[in-house]
Amino acid sequence: SLNLDDIQGDILIGMKKNQELFFFFSITNSTLFKQKLKSDIKVRVTTTTQLLSVSSQPTTALNVAFSQQGLNALGVTDDLGDPLFTAGQEADASVLGDPGTTNWVPSFVGKQIHGVFLLASDTTSNLNSFLSDLNAILQGAIQEVYSLNGAARPGDQQGHEHFGFLDGISQPAVTGFNTPLPGQELVAPGVILVGEDSDPVATRPTWAKDGSFLAFRQLSQKVPEFEKFLTDNPIIEDGLTPAQGSALLGARLVGRWKSGAPVDLAPKFDDPVLAADPTRNNNFTFAHPGQNILNDQTNCPFTAHIRKTKPRADFPTPNPGNHIIRAGIPYGPEVGPAEAASNTTVTERGLAFVAYQSDISNGFHFLQHTWANNVGFFFNKNQTQPGWDPLIGANGGQPRWALGLDQTNFDRNITLENDFIVSRGGEYFFSPSLSALSGALSA
Ligand code: N7H
């Protein structure tokens, strides 16, 4: 069984607070940093066990993760066995579909970041006072490089990302940690945690066990532009008003309605009751009796975001390896009236995207590069090129297209002239076990 006291809390369960601060730092005094990591920081890091019940949750939860540059700064020379981590995300930018680093936040360029503190709480004042405690403890051993404030959206949009879709519905369950709900996939712990059963990499330093790689991406979302696209391109179908046709197009891009109801089970109209039922809202496979999964996109397009990133019955046998646990949170303000009226983003907003996996090339990188950005995927369908993941698929900033979005004509090609999601870059980190924080990393 897993040692939940030794695994940082954000990995398997998520800190799930309304406010989260990503504080990216460089280490300026490694001797002092290591000393404080061992004596004061480790005891403040929130474990999985602590997050399991409300009574044991701290007011402010803390997790910490390091880049390869950070391990270098700490004098840790072991090879963690993940070349993408070692090279850093900047080296991966073009392969991920970003137009180089032109749109990147400058702080993510040039390997300046050694680590990230993830602080989560109900209020920003809690976060600020926790951060000043941390800074006092560290006595100048680190320097802020950049920070990003995430926050749950207000009112009835709580839990929804900025396009309005409910997020955090489907995650893999992990053997030895949680029992799958209907439709939820159970994965071996080594798919998420290094050194556990089914970790694809055989040789790892012992101290890396029960850590996980954290892929961070600041993904800006062009919300007014997305809404305008939906308004301009309603799916025209008997019985649908233009507004319903626009909502249907949005749902087919994602694979779920804004409520969270999957289009595979609610193909024409939203079903909020289905959305709210955790025993049903993930219980689908994209296969239906009397439908041919190789050519029928009545219920869900092949390119829908949740289908491209989590194929179900599209694979004849279950896919054991390509899974992530997502722990992101929205950032940036709500759309203001001037932005809505002009259909143009003025102030940046988006998703502070966090994905955990034991191997970045099987996890985040694979989902983005080999599935979302690959017009030929799925490979075995009647259409040899179904197209891009219309949401996250990235073509170096160039236009993209997708088939299958129009329920009345699967071969209709819809071109997406502009990206609705623009990467602002990020970094690859390793989120170590607590024992590693006071062991190898502070030795
Ligand atoms: Fe995605 N969105 O709002 O449209 N995502 N995603 N994602 N995503 C999911 O099922 C979204 C991104 C996955 O198991 C939902 O929990 C946005 C990246 C995976 O059925 C919604 C952004 C990658 C799943 C969104 C974004 C993924 C998933 C449905 C960026 C990986 C689970 C809610 C701004 C490379 C699929 C849910 C499953 C679900 C949205 C990014 C992957 C609504 C806005 C970069 C694996």
321 CB-near residues (< 8 Å, 6+ apart):
191, 200, 362
Pocket lining: 356 vs ligand 1, CB cutoff 6 Å: no
Query: Rounded mean pLDDT of 153-165?
Result: 98
pLDDT band of residue 111 (cuts 50, 70, 90) is: very high
Residue 335 lies in a domain: no
- DSSP three-state, residue 423: strand
Between the CA of 305 and the centroid of ligand 1 the distance, in Å, is 7
To which H or E segment does residue 254 belong?
A: helix 242-254
Residue 47 lies in a domain: yes
Cβ 353 vs Cβ 217: under 8 Å: yes
* Peptide bond preceding 378 in cis form (omega within 30 of 0): yes
Residue 271 lies in a domain: no
Pocket lining: 392 vs ligand 1, CB cutoff 6 Å: yes
Total structural domains in the chain? 1
ipTM: 0.99
Predicted TM-score of the model (pTM): 0.98
pLDDT in tens, 278-291: 999 999 999 999 99
pLDDT in tens, 356-387: 999 999 999 999 999 999 999 999 999 999 99
Structural domain span for residue 172:
9-219+426-442
Q: Which of 10, 167, 264, 406 is catalytic?
A: 167
Tokens found for residue 333: 């303000």
pLDDT in tens, 325-348: 999 999 999 999 999 999 999 999
Residue 342 lies in a domain: no
pLDDT in tens, 47-106: 999 999 999 999 999 999 999 999 999 999 999 999 999 999 999 999 999 999 999 999
Helices 242-254 and 223-232, packing angle to 10 deg: 120
Residue 434 lies in a domain: yes
Query: Can you tell me which atom of ligand 1 is nearest the CA of 220?
Result: 34
Which residue has its alpha carbon closest to ligand 1 atom 6?
Answer: 392
Residue 33 lies in a domain: yes
List the beta strands (DSSP E) in 41-192: 61-66, 115-121, 142-151, 173-174, 186-187
Residue 46 lies in a domain: yes
Query: Can you tell me which atom of ligand 1 is nearest the CA of 256?
Result: 29
Between the CA of 358 and the centroid of ligand 1 the distance, in Å, is 19
Which residue has its alpha carbon closest to ligand 1 atom 8?
Answer: 306
Residue 281 lies in a domain: no
Catalytic (active site) residue 197: no
* Peptide bond preceding 24 in cis form (omega within 30 of 0): no
Mutate which of 252, 392, 419 for ligand 1 pocket (most atoms within 8 A of beta carbon):
392
pLDDT in tens, 392-440: 999 999 999 999 999 999 999 999 999 999 999 999 999 999 999 999 9
Distance in angstroms (rounded) separating the CA atoms of residues 215 and 326: 10
**DSSP state, residue 371:** I
Cβ 443 vs Cβ 14: under 8 Å: no
Distance in angstroms (rounded) separating the CA atoms of residues 272 and 241: 19
Pocket lining: 302 vs ligand 1, CB cutoff 6 Å: no
Which residue has its alpha carbon closest to ligand 1 atom 39?
Answer: 306
